Amino acid sequence: MKTCQNCGYQLDDYAVSCYNCGAPCPNSNYQQTPYQNNPYQQQNPYVPAEKPESPVLAIIAIIIAFFIPIVGFVCGIIGTVKYKASKNKTMSIIAIVVSIVMWLVNIALLV
Ligand SMILES: [Zn+2]
């Protein structure tokens, strides 16, 4: 036996909805069988199966940009082309900006 969560009416274990008030019974096995969801659950893994992109290139590009701006600049360009994740793309752009800034700083120091 189980009890209706809505009105407290005593119900059989196999009841799908309350005999008294008609409220659906969440404990019912009939409602929890995921037959309808299965096709979607089987398709879903293909969609988010993409591995998260490694941000290593973008991080290295930013670090190198401080020391060897031209290399950081090139790595940043490669990153913006290669990366699809907006976070990694943004970091690549940061690497390009940093390398340009460092480049200008180096020139300014030389002059
Ligand atoms: Zn009820």
The rounded Å distance from CA 92 to ligand 1 centre is 59
The tens-digit pLDDT sequence of the chain (111 residues) is 888 889 999 988 888 889 899 998 775 444 444 454 555 555 555 555 567 788 999 999 999 999 999 999 999 999 999 999 999 999 999 999 999 999 999 899 987
Q: For the packed helices 56-67 and 86-110, what is the interaxial angle rounded to 10 degrees?
A: 10
Say how many C-beta atoms besides its own lie within 10 A of residue 12's C-beta: 10
Distance 11 CA to ligand 1 centre (A): 9
Ligand 1 center–CA 22 separation, angstroms: 6
pTM: 0.53
Distances from the Cα of 91 to the Cα of 66, 74, 78, angstroms? 14, 13, 12
1 Cα–ligand 1 center, Å: 14
Q: How many angstroms separate the alpha carbon of residue 38 from the centre of ligand 1?
A: 30
Query: What ranges do the domains of the chain cover?
Result: 2-36, 56-110
